[in-house]
Structure 1
Amino acid sequence: MSTDLIDGVGPDHEYMIPTKFIKNPDDMVLWENSIAYQEYLGFILAINEAIKGKSLKYDALPVSPTITKLCGVIKKLDQFINETPPLEQPQRFGNQAFRLWLEKVQNATHELLSEVLPEHLQRALAEVSTYFMESFGNQIRIDYGTGHEISFIMFLCCMFKIGALEPDDKIYAATRVFNDYLKLVRKLQQTYRMEPAGSHGVWSLDDYQFVPFIWGSSQLQAHPKIEPCSFLNPEVVETFADQYMFLSCIAYINQVKKGPFAEHSNQLWGISGVAHWTKVTLGLIKMYRAEVLGKFPVAQHITFGSLLPLKPFLQGRGTDRRFLGMTPPPSTGRSSMQVPSQKPT
């Protein structure tokens, strides 16, 4: 089975500013049968395959200049947080300094990303930067959720499509760029007391993220010691959180939540009873399709442009679906993660 990413766009490709098109629940069928949906999910599967069994410390391949520059961009946004401390305000959540931080990001994005893209790809700047700027939270509600996570993954997907990132960059796109992004949005959540977007337990596994659990479970496949039940052991989490995304997510949950794990993170607690990481990964992908990509409150915020268009999949070019040399199976419309029927003790 091929693991090549899709063919890049041509030099005469016409870029466009991504726009929201999902206006009501009836439009969900357009999204779920679109080129954008197939390519986005195919991209997640391709990265999933690339990082299987590889830790966050993997360094067997050279790091491309583009990966290094993208990590530098995220580091710059982290500096913006340090320069924008929380404001003193009566309300506990939603510190308004976040709006000042995001304004700095929006003002700097064009310059920051123009330094990442080579000259012949500068025409793509407006399209890819739209996804980038939508990746960090909502300026009005001061919240963050899986929709913003989708925007950042779409940004990475588009960087591969235009050729700024190459197939050999798949591993580090996840283990370095995306992992740095996770650290950044966690710092945002804590610094500005951001609310979770959507509904906890419906559109994410924890309050904020989903994809790092998918990719993180793939990293742990065939690990000689760490089994799905192991993440309930605080010592295992503390020891390996800097090596595996799944465990870093658990470490963050343990940091921000109090009380029995089975009560505040019941879905994750149930996953700990699955026998093998391979089964966890497959179940999470199905759950993600049903409980995140299949939810109108999430999909209504997704934007579509020339690189990820809301066009019927069957009318797309054949290469538009070859992130993994395969087409993802049709959605069942429901989650099929099977977890043990147990009750918290």
Structure 2
Amino acid sequence: MASNKEDPQNSETKPTTGIPNLRDRLPKLEPRKKRSPPSNPLPVPETPDLPSPPEQSSLKFCKPTRRILSPRDHDLFLQSSTYKLLLAFVFGLTDSVIDTPVSAITNTDLGSTIREILEILDKVEDVVRRSPPEEQGDSRFGNKGFRDFLDLATKEHTGWHKKLGVSSDEAIIEVSTYFLQAFGSHGVWGLDDYQFLPFLFGASQLLHHPYIRPLSIHQNLILEEYGNDYLYLGQVNFVNSVKNVEGLRWHSPMLDDISSAKNWTKVEDGMRRMFVAEVLKKLPVMQHFLFGSLIPAVDGMSTEEEFGVPNEEDDAEGGEVVVMHDGMRHVHQMNSWGDCCGIKVPSSVAAGQEMKKRMGNEGLRRIPFD
């Protein structure tokens, strides 16, 4: 009887339909070479030596005025000793607070000049309490009650100057008008609407901190515990307090980006670069800088009289001012929305005060993201 089974030896070999052997098809896995970290084309600005202050008797005091009125003026400034003086002063302050929390400073550590300045600031704070803000309806812009503060300060500034050893009447120039307005979240104002230096000094305070890292600014407990000790954390705390949107990612994207830095050295280096690139080297910023006796202008820089430009203090109520003529026209208007001097947006603090008044609550309330 014939068998129905095929002879395995006579049957044709059929291809298998299982998982193919990929061992010979895939490239051999090798350890990836470590990439060298990208180098920043901008070197970290160093701290120049601070020159000795000039003798007061050799100074001829004058009212500070704008002297950077054209690109040429700005170029002269960047090549001048005054530019190095500003770097030396600001970066010298930065170096002086390395790894130093506020609580580590006692009155016994302070020099007599610093103690005198602190006493004056205490008196200024008392003047602030005696000049409350005015009722301004729905206005979200700078409160005009600051004029009352200036009137009170004018009556007391003589004693303050004597404490500082300033006796010459020519050295005392009064400020008559003050407006505080946000400049939009771009350039140097990307960190905060009004302030930059606290972030530079604050990064230096945290330079070698054993456990507070740049990412720690996202931890509310860290901000609450150490906000009064470190300027950087205190500023982040303040920014959070006046925004309605939760999270730095949404209302302060630049601060959020900086928090991804590996350490505070990277942050401080970046802040130094930013101060040079976005403040001193930006004409729209420096055209409002005032030069006088202690911070002198360079020979050859323009004057407001030569350009027919009114003093910025006199023009604070509005109007059109042409600031530069060398191929660039800068029209400075209080109702403009151009980028040149920053976008004119309402003060976030003023808005918070307005909401507090309407809601009948104490303390600073959050406001809509602006």
Q: Superposition pairs for residues 183-198 of structure 1, below 5 Å?
A: 195-196=181-182, 198=183
Q: For the pair shown, which has the larger CA radius of gyration, 1 or 2?
A: 2
Name the SS of the counterpart of 2:113 in structure 1. Answer: helix
- 1:318 corresponds to which residue? none
Q: What is the one-letter code of the residue matched to 1:101?
A: F
- 2:177 corresponds to which residue? 139
Q: Superposition pairs for residues 1-345 of structure 1, below 5 Å?
A: 5-10=50-55, 12-17=57-62, 18-59=64-105, 62-93=109-140, 94-117=142-165, 122-123=167-168, 126-127=170-171, 129-130=172-173, 139=177, 142-143=179-180, 195-196=181-182, 198-204=183-189, 205-259=191-245, 260-311=247-298
- 1:173 corresponds to which residue? none
- Stretches of 4+ moved more than 6 A in 1? 1-4
The separation in 2 between residues aligned to 1:5 and 1:35, in whole angstroms, is 11
Higher relative contact order (CA 8 A, sep 6+): 1
The separation in 1 between residues aligned to 2:209 and 2:219, in whole angstroms, is 16
* Contact in 2 for aligned 1:35/1:308 (Cα 8 Å): no
* Contact in 1 for aligned 2:48/2:84 (Cα 8 Å): no
Cα distance, 1:216 vs. partner? Answer: 0.6
* Contact in 1 for aligned 2:66/2:290 (Cα 8 Å): yes
The separation in 2 between residues aligned to 1:106 and 1:296, in whole angstroms, is 33
* Contact in 2 for aligned 1:54/1:219 (Cα 8 Å): yes
In the alignment, structure 2 segments of 5+ residues that lack a partner are 1-45, 300-370
What CA deviation, in whole Å up to 9, does each residue of 1:262-290 have, x standing for no partner? 12111111000011111111111111212
What CA deviation, in whole Å up to 9, does each residue of 1:307-338 have, x standing for no partner? 211227xxxxxxxxxxxxxxxxxxxxxxxxxx
Higher helix share: 1
- 2:361 corresponds to which residue? none
* Contact in 2 for aligned 1:36/1:304 (Cα 8 Å): no
* Contact in 1 for aligned 2:50/2:85 (Cα 8 Å): no
The separation in 1 between residues aligned to 2:66 and 2:159, in whole angstroms, is 25
Q: What is the one-letter code of the residue matched to 2:276?
A: R
The separation in 1 between residues aligned to 2:297 and 2:47, in whole angstroms, is 25
The separation in 1 between residues aligned to 2:283 and 2:184, in whole angstroms, is 12
**Identity level (%):** 29
* Contact in 1 for aligned 2:48/2:87 (Cα 8 Å): no
The separation in 2 between residues aligned to 1:300 and 1:310, in whole angstroms, is 12
Question: How many matched pairs?
Answer: 249
* Contact in 2 for aligned 1:216/1:246 (Cα 8 Å): yes
The separation in 2 between residues aligned to 1:25 and 1:298, in whole angstroms, is 12
The separation in 1 between residues aligned to 2:80 and 2:138, in whole angstroms, is 42
